[in-house]
Amino acid sequence: MKKALFIDRDGTIILEPPDEQIDSLEKLEFVPRAITVLAQIAEEFDYELVMATNQDGLGTSSFPEDTFHPAQNKMVSVLQGEGVVFNDILIDRSFPHENTTTRKPGTGMFGKYMEKGAYNLAESFVIGDRITDAKLARNLGSQAIILHSKHTNSLTDDDRRTLPIALETQDWREVYAFLLTRQAPMRLAEVHRTTNETDILVKLNLDGTGKARIHTGLGFFDHLLDQLVRHSGIDLELTAHGDLHIDEHHTIEDTALALGEAFTKALGDKRGITRYGYYLLPMDEALAEASVEFVEQVSEHSSEQFSEIRTHAAIDFSGRNWLVWKADFKREKIGDTPTEMFHHFFKSFTDTAKCTLNLHSVADNEHHKIEALFKAFARAVKVAIRRDARNNAIPSTKGVL
Ligand SMILES: [Mg+2]
């Protein structure tokens, strides 16, 4: 079913002057980023674009027709030049005191959009800056995206509770980001893994913002998982109750298994993902050279040629598990975490996340060596799980991953 964006004009696409009437070309000025983001929306998403605007008394002596059209036509042609074409331009010309049904938030102009089965209004949005836009969304059975202008101040907490406002923002770019998430549902997974040795609960959101709540009972391990979250942009809640009175082995291994399982669940059929990701993590200026040579030759260079610390991570959510590991640790433990468990963590992760992972870290400082590796791993994951809104295919010639 078709979806629409009903977009307000004044205060949303173009700036509204103090007298609230754009009746000359000199008064025409676009809201920052409106053109860029509308062009992105028009190109990437399948919403019909509908402009909907109240123009008080248009056609009367207070707002003659010929003073309205130059700025309106210029605005439409500028947007058209960027690929933004409106299917419909709905203009109500009444004054507020007339209380017409066509004046927003009335739905008198929206008849064809409200015909049964014509549009998926629940997945359509009104984008505007005033409470009338939010009320229009309610009256249409849609949701509102409110772009702040000075007129937004009239929105009360009560309005925010009762009106279907999906997003309030100052920035058109956030409108794009929000609509992007609406193209496909967020990729979530919950895994509860219980054995005689450990009890682990994982809540994962691959489309998060880097929020972590992690408790494994091992401070340094928590710190590493925190790096994974921060640098990959996932949200992760992870609680592990393990048999630490014996040693750290089961807790780290089972955390990795549960985390990998959550990745597999959340990625689903992997539709639209980048699939591959790699990252070369620099720790000082000498790394610029190494990054150019990373793919072909990094392992053939001696470490003296570059910086102290060289780390790279490459990942493929291929459906097959494999780990290539090049990192030697000389200390037995870092903090409370045994260094021999680092390899085991990633091996266990690849087993349940069903990914191919290539990790390489060289450094003098052991703490740096593993921290850099987790950051590089996180950055590689971030690239690999990224979805392309324009290409929803499964990234394999086999058709399945
Ligand atoms: Mg407005």
If asked whether residues 38 and 166 sit together in one domain, one would say yes
Domain of 194, in residue numbers: 188-385
Average pLDDT over residues 314-342: 92
- Number of structural domains in the chain: 2
Q: Which tens digits make up the pLDDT trace of 262-300?
A: 999 999 988 888 888 888 876 543 333 222 222 223 333
Tokens standing for 274? 């980048």
Helix (H) or strand (E) holding 131: helix 131-140
Q: Give the model's pLDDT for residue 151.
A: 86
**What is the Å distance from ligand 1's center to 154 Cα?**
13
* Residue 177, strand partner residues: none
The predicted-structure confidence for 169-224, as pLDDT tens digits, reads as follows 999 999 998 898 787 778 999 999 999 999 999 999 998 878 899 999 999 999 99
Distance in Å, CA 146 to ligand 1 centroid: 10
Task: Name the nearest CA neighbour of 145 among 116, 165, 118, 120.
Answer: 165
- Structural domain contains residue 370: yes
In a domain, 319, yes or no: yes
Give the per-residue pLDDT at 254: 98
- Residue-wise pLDDT tens digits, 29-64: 999 999 999 999 999 899 999 999 999 999 999 999
66 among known catalytic residues? no
Calculate Rg over the CA atoms of the chain: 27
In a shared domain, residues 242 and 115: no
Same-domain check for residues 163 and 55: yes
Q: How many Å lie between the centroid of ligand 1 and the Cα of residue 114?
A: 22
Q: Is residue 87 part of a domain?
A: yes
How many angstroms does the Cα of residue 2 sit away from the middle of ligand 1? Answer: 25
CA of residue 104 to ligand 1 center, whole Å: 10
Q: How far is the CA of 8 from the centre of ligand 1 (A)?
A: 5
Residues 211 and 179 in one domain: no
| Ligand 1 midpoint to CA 229 (Å) | 39
Task: Write out the E strands in 119-247.
Answer: 125-128, 143-147, 165-169, 188-194, 198-205, 212-215, 235-242
Residues in the 5 Å CB sphere of ion ligand 1 = 8, 10-11, 129
Catalytic residue, chosen from 10, 92, 133, 235, is 10
Do residue 258 and residue 218 come from a single domain? yes
The sign of the dihedral angle between the CA atoms of 213, 214, 217, 219 is negative
Same domain, residue pair 178 and 220? no
Query: Is 10 noted as a catalytic residue in this protein?
Result: yes
